[in-house]
Chain A
């Protein structure tokens, strides 16, 4: 596959994953007075909750289950990423234009980049973002590299959308993610295209 085709595939994956509800330029000013600090923090967290809930984060970072009304995100595991305990068979072989496959949980994706598993965004210190700083979070999205300097953030994570967040947006999303319940869930490392696909852990 040449680079332009791969790019198209990556975008197809990103587009499929994100019916983007992001609204740019809607950052309200927050109160800055020291006396209003708790209120300002609460407003920041609420702003972060709003951005997360309208930017499709749950679409991939919260495992989906089949509920009484059909597929829905399992909010008891909200934003905890691909379930550590889930055993997956190898993905189907890519055929023709069908080059991207997603697991039913919407947390594991196979494509030309290999197999990617969505991250645990909860503040668990060992398996989530508990030890991450706001800088780590912002630089990951802005650079497209893990913690700003590691491996590439893989499709379908649409960093090309979220990197347009303002610094205030990043602060708000980070503050919200640090406020939600920590869930211990060690997401597997991604797999390269040629690796044996015993992608279970």
Chain B
């Protein structure tokens, strides 16, 4: 049985239970009851100029230096800040966005298949939605709350899984701020040339310095403008590997977040990158993984330069019940895995052996 088939089976088994729960009425978020309904059409969210599929010129296009792997989809991203507002960046690792902030991310395989949408409401809560593009590419329509599967010949495997809104929360509610790819570290002009799948920064993409110069962020520590944020790797490969793990894993596996009890901290800080990198190494090397593969006689280190590493194993496996990340990915990221394995086997040392 092919991995893709396994995915579908597992997804269907889980969705069967979830779908019934929705029919029976699960526990709705109170904030959602107070918010106006989500637009049924993407065009009504304000992404495009009226009557076109051109993004409005007052939206800010951006490209994070460490993009999330999404089965090879090409992505475009925009943010809109209400006129006269700005982002409070005084905590450079937890930006506070003004009510009315909206973000969009388009996923394309040749042509657009899905556009995800995040909005901060007047009461400060966030809501999440996703829109599936019509065949003719003229409009995208609000996906069901429990997600959907788009069957299209031009997407990998012929099936494209649209996340449920609960799946949106699974990633975006992991850290303290639900905006994941728009941060001081991700917008830093000191971009990592080894970052897998990095997109060339275009003139149209807004960066950290421009945001500050235009007054769109306020309170950003001046030191981060003088010396732009940078992942504190001891080698270029370690820098890229830590950045990759930050973008692909750190939204769930971070210090102080929902999964703090797992003791796996993969998010990196802009304010104190040395401390966060050291914390990541301690969490990777300091104890065994709770996950034990079938057939293994004992627990294993999460990362080890001298033996099996659960980290790489779970990134590479085609078992959808064990694969990391557990959602949003059906195809292993060979480039990202190669980077992480190279780091583990050639660059990784015990932090006690390294002066930081």
> Hey, which bits of chain A sit against chain B, CB under 8 A?
1, 3, 6-11, 14, 111-114, 126-127, 131-133, 135-136, 139, 142-155, 158-160, 163-164, 186, 188-195, 198-199, 201
Least CB separation from A135: chain B residue: B258
Asked if B258 contacts A136 (CB within 8 A), the reply is yes
* List of A residues within 8 angstroms of B260 by Cβ: 133
Provide the main secondary structure of the chain A interface: loop
Asked if A149 contacts B10 (CB within 8 A), the reply is no
A189-B13 in contact given A151-B322, A160-B24 (Cβ < 8 Å): no
The reply on B284 being an interface residue by CB < 8 A is no
* List of A residues within 8 angstroms of B16 by Cβ: 3, 6-11
User: How many residue pairs, one in A and one in B, have C-beta atoms under 8 Å apart?
Assistant: 140
Q: Encode contact with A along B4-26: 1 for CB under 8 Å, 0 otherwise.
A: 01100111111111111100111
Select one of A10, A147, A158, A193 contacting B1, CB under 8 A.
A193
Asked if A189 contacts B291 (CB within 8 A), the reply is yes
* List of B residues within 8 angstroms of A155 by Cβ: 13, 17
* List of B residues within 8 angstroms of A145 by Cβ: 166, 170, 326-327
* List of A residues within 8 angstroms of B14 by Cβ: 113, 144, 152-154
Asked if B12 contacts A7 (CB within 8 A), the reply is yes
Least CB separation from B288: chain A residue: A126
The reply on B321 being an interface residue by CB < 8 A is yes
List the 8 closest pairs (A to B, CB-CB), nearest first. Answer: A7-B16, A152-B14, A113-B13, A194-B1, A131-B261, A149-B170, A160-B21, A10-B16
Asked if B321 contacts A159 (CB within 8 A), the reply is no
List B residues 26-40 near A (Cβ within 8 Å): 26-27
Report how far A145 CA is from B21 CA in the complex, Å: 14
Least CB separation from A165: chain B residue: B27
Q: Which of A113, A114, A154, A188 gathers the greatest number of chain B CB atoms within 10 Å?
A: A113
Q: Could you give 25 example pairs across A and B, Cβ below 8 Å?
A: A3-B15, A6-B9, A7-B16, A7-B19, A11-B17, A14-B17, A112-B13, A113-B10, A114-B10, A131-B263, A144-B17, A147-B258, A148-B170, A149-B326, A152-B14, A152-B321, A154-B321, A158-B17, A159-B17, A159-B21, A160-B21, A189-B291, A189-B321, A193-B6, A201-B296
